[in-house]
A and B are shown apart, each in its own frame.
Chain A
């Protein structure tokens, strides 16, 4: 079983994502316009013992990947947990080119889709499987040669598929990530209890799920009780995100709460300074034991 550090470093702060304030998001975008500023925060996290970078497949992450690849001595334990796809580029493409046009735009130019479309009106299973696996491979290119022990499907895609009852896509993603990358497939969602029941229906054993988990129940669709029941069941491996609810809860209170909940394996957090990274790590150390120790027993 893939082991996961207790504390993972997220990337929202680098790319102008702030769920509380557009002003703060813009200020962060300005500060991190220079990729060197991003790298120096990542270095600070690494030196604080946080070795996993959970990141979108944003174009700028490719520069980070290049940097890490170029300095193997500096980043011996550096792990990427890619989260795909970077949804905005697809959403914008759908607006411009429609569904099919957008998919075509991101597939390698090997004529696969053209052949599939010429093949007839119906999508065969191999067509859908081909499209999903090619899209995954396109997103994974930037991480070639780097350690990617977990590969995540982003919540906007997971939740879209969930509502469409398109569960087969989860299995295709799962099988491809396991077989081609030898990695653990993960699913990010805003609807964790519903997703957990569907993944169980597919027969996936203890799937890895990442979702908001915070004391005030912010963006935990299905409700806090359903989340707790899911975690108590032990049927999923769980990474908590948005633990601070975008800053609505004070750090100490937020981290104490999540660390005392059953079934949470890991926490993903974002920070923009070494002081905040250290403060978060120390809080997790306080309530959870040493955060730098890899792999809680699961």
Chain B
């Protein structure tokens, strides 16, 4: 049994709590949230032990591991606190708002033998995994260009203020939406070495971005267009789409299907043939023991729990790989001409902890 505490019972936190609550090898040893009402309902009806401060939960709940589903800006101090307490961490995406901090935390977890993972669930979507296999098998030859797109209905009118609408808290379409296609690009093509012509545009928001467009370069010479808009209500829910051109053909993929066109002379024996090939999620997906919202959400948590059991510090979506995405995000935030060396990125935001973080730590237990 892995004893897990969940910090933050918002949309993602509740979803993780439910999936882990059904996991046969997990015991929910604590839940922590700022809302006394949400906590009291979970305590009373779910029977989970509840805590109103992270400090108290870490002190009292005898945890092995922690799930962090709090606003992005809080991730770095919480991850550090967990590392100091010797706890494995599953952290919601994006990892932190400072690429340098992300890299330091990845190193800290590696040193201490702790298992970290970030919630880039698209890497557990069967269709996107199939894309990775196709690329690794070299079916597309040398990849020349990629179009990476994400669209969906999040900010559809001028609206009030939540952490998602505050850039300083790690909100906005860049952190919340663009992080997903960027993370897949990192998985497929490695680190972003340069970005140019980036546009962080506003549709309805006043304090942050609703649209993100950029040209990206990767180490192997591959180039990519990134196109993201979270004010697009023509999409029922978030949709992420990849189009990849290579010397071997062309690929279209979204979470449901992979369409692969192979030129004449494509490698044989891969199960794919010359011309168009289509594979659907129905044949690609591996079943999960408990399903909520999509196989990928269960699969990613199951992978993390297994890695903890095996002491596997390196693995899919480990902190080092998530840090690469924070580096890419930071590259997009840099003013044009500020230097192309993504590895030497300076922090773009101030490093002071936000006020609500202090409140988290101060709040008393309610139970």
Contact = CB atoms under 8 A, between A and B. Distances in A.
Contacts of B239: 22
Nearest to A116: B37
A163 B35 contact: no
Nearest to A223: B287
A289 B88 CA distance: 57
Contacts of A99: 9-10, 14, 35, 38
A264 interface: no
A98 B12 CA distance: 11
Interface in A163-178: 163-166, 168-169
A91 B282 contact: no
A144 B81 CA distance: 54
A200 interface: no
Interface string B259-283: 0000000000000000000001111
Given A92-B153, A121-B36, A222-B289, A165 B21 contact: yes
B40 A156 contact: no
Interface stretch (A36-44, A63-71, A133-141, A212-220): A212-220
B19 A163 contact: yes
Contact of A166 (B19, B46, B159, B280): B46
Nearest to A16: B236
A98 B33 CA distance: 12
A30 B92 CA distance: 35
Contacts of B287: 217, 219-221, 223
B281 A191 contact: no
Nearest to B34: A98
Interface residues of A, number: 51
B14 A96 contact: no
B22 A191 contact: yes
B46 A21 contact: no
A194 B11 contact: no
A245 interface: yes
Given A20-B282, A248-B282, A160 B18 contact: yes
A115 B153 CA distance: 33
Interface string B280-293: 11110101111111
B291 A159 contact: yes
Interface in A86-104: 88, 91-92, 94-100
A117 B45 contact: no
Nearest to A242: B282
Interface string A100-120: 100000000000000001000
B40 A123 contact: yes
Contact of A128 (B15, B41, B282): B41
A204 interface: no
Interface in B303-342: none
5 contacts: A97-B162, A164-B42, A164-B45, A165-B45, A191-B22
Given A99-B9, A218-B285, 19 more contacts: A17-B236, A19-B256, A20-B282, A29-B236, A95-B162, A96-B159, A96-B160, A121-B37, A160-B18, A163-B20, A165-B46, A165-B47, A190-B291, A217-B287, A218-B282, A221-B290, A222-B289, A245-B282, A248-B280
Interface of B: 9-11, 14-15, 17-22, 35-38, 40-42, 44-47, 153-154, 159-160, 162, 164, 236-237, 239, 241, 254-257, 280-283, 285, 287-293, 295, 366
Interface of A: 15-22, 25, 29, 88, 91-92, 94-100, 117, 121-123, 128, 156, 159-166, 168-169, 190-191, 194, 216-223, 245-248
